[in-house]
Amino acid sequence: MFFFIGGIQPKTVLVDKQPRSCPACGHVGVYQKRVDHYVSLFFIPLFPVKRGTPFLMCEKCNTILDEHGARMDFEQTRGENRCPSCGRTVGRDFVFCPYCGKAL
């Protein structure tokens, strides 16, 4: 963790306040959100520099869906791999799993 006075910060914004029902748990509490990147100064977001892709997230089970309501793997969108042996999330440029040592 590091601190900075000015820089670019991600900020999650609520795009649509209308709740939808969750295909995973049935809870009506899926909201459309977007992660925008803001230029900030003294931790106060000033203006947006990058608009994120809208996604839907269930407030109950944290299932993430794309804007059409299809489930998506959040790790995949962040450019990470999953170890086929132990199932943990591993950075894309790892050749060996740091947890179990298996070649990826």
On whether the CB atoms of residues 78 and 44 are closer than 8 A, the answer is no
Minimum CB distance to Zn ion smaller for 77 or for 85:
85
Give the length of the chain. 104
CB 22, min distance to Zn ion, A: 3
Minimum CB distance to Zn ion smaller for 56 or for 97:
97
Those residues whose C-beta lies under 8 Å from the C-beta of residue 64, and which sit 6 or more positions away, are 55, 56, 57, 58, 71, 72, 73, 74
CB 79, min distance to Zn ion, A: 18
Minimum CB distance to Zn ion smaller for 8 or for 25:
25
Residues in the site for Zn ion, rule: CB under 5 A?
A: 22, 24-25, 27, 58, 60-61, 63, 83, 85-86, 97, 99-100
- Tokens read off for 101: 């040592």
